[in-house]
Chain A
Amino acid sequence: MATLAAHAAGPLPYRDEDSDGLSLTYHRLMLVLLLFAGVTALVVLRLAYLQVSTDRSGVAAIGNPLIPPRADIVDRNGVPLARTIDAWSIGVHPRRVIGDKAALAARLAELMPERSTAHYLALLNADSNYRYLARRAVPELVAAVNAIGEPAIVFNREPERLYPQTALAGHILGWTDFDGRGVAGMERVLDGRLTDQALRGQPVALSIDSRVQSTMESELAAAVAAQSAEGGTGIVLDVQTGEIVAMASAPTFNPNAAGRSDPSALYNRATMGVYELGSVFKPITVAAALEAGVVTSMAQRWDAGSPVAIGRFRISDDHPLGRAITVPELLIHSSNIATARIADQMGPERMQAAFRGLGFDQAPPIELNERARPLWPRDWGRATVLTSGFGHGIAVTPLHLASAYAALVNGGIWRPATLMRLEPAAVPDGRRVFSEATSHRMRQLLRMIVTHGTGRRADAPGFRIGGKTGTAEKVSSTGGYSRRLNVSTFAAAFPMDRPRYVVVVMMDAPRGNAETFGLTTAAWTAAPVVKSVIARTGPLLGIIPDDNRDIDTSELLPLVGGSGH
């Protein structure tokens, strides 16, 4: 600038025509100079702008790796049940293999024996860019394969769904496929929520309590093994909210390797199995009769002396009492005859209404897709009405039964069962199916069945358990009921003075053992499971056993005759 000014100030020693051309040149030079200066200034300004305005604080936030690609599933206490971790996968680029393919295949088969050498050789010779050799590989295997030294073999980290508790609650959780989509259980139900961009940082809490679930599963598995049963199921349900605290089905499977498990183990008996559950229906029939005014007094006597004949069928008792019995006696001795007489008086409409009220005519209201519709009788003739009173001719899932028992003891409110943890405000209102008085009466009666009747083997001291046994004959493969094949169920609630939880245990086709004296009835098969589950989990659920507390049944005890056993 200073130089330019100096030249301009000085005299121009040229002629006019020259000075004109010169000034033009100067102007041009000036223009070029300005152009250069402008461009340089632009670059400098741009650099300055970039230096000042670039926000580097966002560098660390690139794809926050703390947010899993799929949300965790936890139990009601926050114990992780399903997580996504980074797992190793082993792949190969078949076209880039430089070593001896046959030797490589043999070595791979040695390290990963689940597939044959020929299979690996086919993989290595495949006309493709990339093939998986193994997914979800353990680090030891990765290290071993890496030691082969073949550069065409590559290792990647891939998100993998892990179920840390292995087989625990496998039927509830379900599993995902290799692409991370839920294909069964809650993984499938919650797929949208679990992969939601905004929500996947937050774990989803189920209603399951993993401690109770684990206890139920181990006790059930032990009983199924001891009695060589086909299977079994156990449910623990919160009677006030409908939350399922535990739901087990034996045999179990490991969702970490769902594809490799026995297909029969994937069957969830609690929601998919419909069974004629037998005598556990009797309290429901009695409660419905109390509601309907058919049973007006506990002292009312019902003839159990002679079998009831319907056409060519006869309804009889295993241990005939040979006299008229009161309602408490009916339940304590589990009399089919007296129950059939009550159901007869109820009639088809009122029986159906009672069962519909408890949701026995539709699939259990639970989130899982793996659920079955009950076998609702098409024809409600007299035979159906009478047999449905004691749980034959109508087949429901064990979960139906658990919900019904919850309504029976919680004051008469039926609520849908759920696998999601509910905040106190979110508990559904439910619908009233029994009156408060009926519910109270049923609590007394159920407690008496355990203290004086067929449920004695479930009486864990101090837990005030009330419940009903049910031993139904199973339809055998040849058709027709088999006396040897039973579905033995024990449906219980505790503590009876203020019911909190319903526990239902069902054994599918147990065979007696020496411990049960060869008996397959519920009292010997299912009731002990209920007892040990309650004894182990009661304190965890906040129910402290107390020998000095119980529901008052003194008003009903005089109604029980002396022939009790």
Chain B
Amino acid sequence: MIVSGFKPVGWVAGIGAAALCCYMLSLQVASERSELASLERQIVHTRQEIRSLQTELGTRGRLQQLEQWNAEVLALSAPVADQFLESNVSLARFDVQQPSLDDRARLRMAAADTAQPPAAPAAPAAAPTAQPALRLASAPVAVQNGTASPTRPLVRRASLVVDPAPAPAPPPAPTPARSASRPAAPADSGASPLLDDSTLRDLGAQSRSERGGGARN
């Protein structure tokens, strides 16, 4: 009974709530719209500013002014016929440099490089004593790959060897300077007796195989 008495009130409240919702929605839309309008006004304002700045820039950098600057400072002159090239062929005409003997020699070296480690052909010819130092230098890389477990203990020995090696071999090829300097840091004296021929051979074979497969330069 009471419920039915409040029914109209409920209706009124319901309709009022619905109307309020509608109004809120409409208000929301209106505020969005006004925001959009203000944004549009801002865009228009910015465009106007762009236009006026463009005008100012164009006026300041007018052709007469550029001409004056050219006359006073740049002194550029019109290009002549020689400065224009018609095709790639005429461009190639300018490549007049002939490869010197030096250039050719360097080229051949590069070709040899891919076949063998760079130090290998040079070092044995110059001084046989330099060979161990060179090979050893690249050895740690090979070991890190972990292809052969028995070589692991050799690593330490190999690096230790390096220091005494440069001493008896002062005339190594100029190229190994870079690789020799790296193992020089953990140098330890008295390790030379540990470096026997088989060790060297193993290391050399490893480094060769690694270089041949991986690094190409």
Q: Do A and B bind each other?
A: yes
How many interface residues does chain B have, given as a range? 20 to 34
User: Judging by beta carbons under 8 Å apart, are B67 and A59 in contact?
Assistant: no
Name the A residues within 8 Å of B80 (CB-CB): 461-462, 535, 545
Write the B44-63 contact mask toward A (1 if CB under 8 angstroms, else 0): 10011001101100110011
Name the B residues within 8 Å of A532 (CB-CB): 78
Closest residue of chain A to B42 (Cβ to Cβ) is A60
Q: Is A15 an interface residue (CB 8 A)?
A: no
Beyond A65-B44, A166-B64: 4 further Cβ-contacts under 8 Å?
A164-B59, A214-B67, A218-B67, A535-B80
Closest residue of chain B to A58 (Cβ to Cβ) is B37
User: Judging by beta carbons under 8 Å apart, are A60 and B41 in contact?
Assistant: yes
Q: List residues of B (148-162) whose CB comes within 8 Å of A's CBs.
A: none
A462-B80, A532-B78, A536-B78 known; A85 and B63 CB under 8 Å? no
User: Judging by beta carbons under 8 Å apart, are B26 and A52 in contact?
Assistant: yes
Q: Is A546 an interface residue (CB 8 A)?
A: yes
User: Judging by beta carbons under 8 Å apart, are B23 and A56 in contact?
Assistant: no
A59-B37, A66-B47 known; A546 and B63 CB under 8 Å? no
User: Judging by beta carbons under 8 Å apart, are A51 and B44 in contact?
Assistant: no
User: Judging by beta carbons under 8 Å apart, are A56 and B30 in contact?
Assistant: yes
Closest residue of chain B to A214 (Cβ to Cβ) is B63
How many interface residues does chain A have, given as a range? 35 or more
Q: Is B174 an interface residue (CB 8 A)?
A: no
User: Judging by beta carbons under 8 Å apart, are A545 and B84 in contact?
Assistant: yes
Q: Is B114 an interface residue (CB 8 A)?
A: no
Name the B residues within 8 Å of A539 (CB-CB): 78-79, 84
User: Judging by beta carbons under 8 Å apart, are B78 and A535 in contact?
Assistant: yes
Name the B residues within 8 Å of A544 (CB-CB): 84, 86
Q: Is A80 an interface residue (CB 8 A)?
A: yes
User: Judging by beta carbons under 8 Å apart, are B26 and A51 in contact?
Assistant: yes
Contact of A85 among B26, B55, B64, B81 (CB under 8 A): B55
CA distance A59 to B33 in the complex (A): 10
Nearest first, the 9 A-B pairs at minimum CB distance are A462-B81, A214-B63, A545-B81, A60-B40, A164-B59, A535-B78, A536-B78, A164-B58, A60-B37
Q: Is B8 an interface residue (CB 8 A)?
A: yes
Name the B residues within 8 Å of A214 (CB-CB): 63-64, 67
Name the A residues within 8 Å of B67 (CB-CB): 214, 218
Q: Is B147 an interface residue (CB 8 A)?
A: no
| Shortest CB distance B56–A (Å) | 9
User: Judging by beta carbons under 8 Å apart, are A56 and B84 in contact?
Assistant: no
Contact of A83 among B8, B55, B64, B82 (CB under 8 A): B55
Q: List residues of A (206-251) whose CB comes within 8 Å of B's CBs.
A: 210-211, 214, 217-218
Contact of A168 among B47, B52, B62, B82 (CB under 8 A): B62
CA distance A431 to B75 in the complex (A): 45
CA distance A188 to B207 in the complex (A): 87
CA distance A60 to B44 in the complex (A): 9
Name the B residues within 8 Å of A85 (CB-CB): 52, 55
CA distance A430 to B130 in the complex (A): 89
Closest residue of chain A to B57 (Cβ to Cβ) is A164
| Shortest CB distance A364–B (Å) | 26
User: Judging by beta carbons under 8 Å apart, are B62 and A164 in contact?
Assistant: yes
27 A/B residue pairs, CB under 8 Å, sorted by A: A57-B33, A57-B37, A59-B34, A59-B37, A60-B36, A79-B58, A80-B54, A80-B55, A80-B58, A162-B59, A164-B59, A164-B62, A165-B58, A165-B64, A166-B59, A168-B64, A211-B63, A214-B64, A218-B64, A461-B80, A462-B81, A539-B78, A539-B79, A544-B84, A544-B86, A545-B80, A545-B81
A66-B47, A85-B55, A461-B81 known; A167 and B64 CB under 8 Å? yes
A539-B79, A545-B80 known; A51 and B33 CB under 8 Å? no
Name the B residues within 8 Å of A546 (CB-CB): 81, 84, 86
User: Judging by beta carbons under 8 Å apart, are B62 and A165 in contact?
Assistant: yes
Name the B residues within 8 Å of A462 (CB-CB): 80-81
Which of B26, B34, B81 counts the most chain A CB atoms within 10 A?
B81
Write the B15-44 contact mask toward A (1 if CB under 8 angstroms, else 0): 000000001001000100110110011001
A214-B64, A547-B81 known; A65 and B48 CB under 8 Å? yes
Closest residue of chain A to B60 (Cβ to Cβ) is A164
Q: List residues of A (477-533) whose CB comes within 8 Å of B's CBs.
A: 532
Q: List residues of A (444-467) whose CB comes within 8 Å of B's CBs.
A: 461-462
CA distance A79 to B61 in the complex (A): 12
CA distance A65 to B54 in the complex (A): 16
Closest residue of chain A to B63 (Cβ to Cβ) is A214
Q: Is A64 an interface residue (CB 8 A)?
A: yes
Q: Is A98 an interface residue (CB 8 A)?
A: no
CA distance A56 to B34 in the complex (A): 8
Closest residue of chain B to A210 (Cβ to Cβ) is B63
